Structures are given as C-alpha cells and as structure tokens.
Amino acid sequence: MRKWIFVIAILFLCQIAKSLPAADLKSELLKILDIQKTAWNKQDILGFMAYYWKSEEFTFQSGANRLRGWNALLERYQKSYSGENWGILDFTDLEVKVLSSDYAYVLGRWNLAIKDTKKEGVFTIIFKRFPEGWRIIHDHSS
C-alpha cells in the first residue's frame, strides 16, 4: 500500500513540475502583450513593434491581405495609425496556448478607441523564443 501511495505522490509531483514552466511562459507572454499595449497607448510605435520578429520572414494577415516582413508592418501601422487616427488600444479575452518550450500562440480580441469610434476584432499571434527572447513570428488580426 505504501508503495502505491509513493508512486501516486511521485506522479502528482511530476505533473505539478510540468505545469509550472507553462504557467511561467504564459505570464511572460501576457507581460509582452501588456508592454505592447502600453507602448501603443504612448504612441511609441517602435516600442510596440519591439516584440515582432525583425525579419523579412515575419508574416501579418488581416482580411484578404498578407504582408511579409517587419518593415512592411511598420509602414502599414505608420500609414494607418498616425496623428488623430492613433487611438487607445486594449486586449481582452486572452488565451495563451504553449506548444513547446520555444513556441506558443495567443488568441484574443483587440479594441481600438479612436475619437468617437471603436474598431475591434480578433487575433491569433504565434510566438517563437529566440536567443534575445520571445518574438511574434506571425500575426493574424481581423
């Protein structure tokens, strides 16, 4: 009987140990989204873009459009959201799914309040861990 209790206790502890890194990764990714939101709301586009993969292989999809490359996304944001069109950003309904120690994705909703109007939609972003930290390698927003 003691042997079975010991085996069950070991399995339980192993399960707890496996879930801790996933919880840490989730909070790390949610912190990145909070940093992005804060940067956007300060009209700091480069701060907002800091966690996107600075590569021509980065992809962004919205509606029927697909962009490739970090610079293309930066130009899109600068063209679409400048001056009075900037707005206040918020993220809600966030769900982080850890795929491995180096990959995860986040589902959520974005809300952008611009003057008296509100834009909103959903997104899926895919994160990859690089030596310099987590970066968004794909963003699908609609």
Q: Report the 3 state secondary structure along 72-126.
A: HHHHHHHHHCCHHHCCEEEEEEEEEEECCCCEEEEEEEEEEEECCEEEEEEEEEE
pLDDT of residue 17: 39
Question: % helix / strand / coil in the chain, to the nearest 5?
Answer: 40, 40, 20
Distance set, CA 11 to CA 2, 19, 22, 123 (Å): 14, 13, 18, 37
DSSP character at residue 66: E
Q: Is pLDDT of 20 > 60?
A: no
pLDDT of residue 100: 94
State the pLDDT confidence band at 116, using cuts at 50, 70 and 90.
confident
Asked if residues 138 and 125 have their Cβ atoms less than 8 Å apart, the reply is yes
pLDDT of residue 8: 52
Question: Under CATH, which number does the domain 21-141 receive?
Answer: 3.10.450.50
Global confidence as pTM: 0.82
Region 81-105: what's the mean pLDDT? 93
Measure the CA dihedral 26/31/37/39, to 10°. -150
Ranges of each domain in the chain? 21-141
Residue recorded with tokens 């918020």? 90
| pLDDT tens digits along 26-79 | 999 999 999 999 999 999 999 999 999 999 999 999 999 999 999 999 999 999
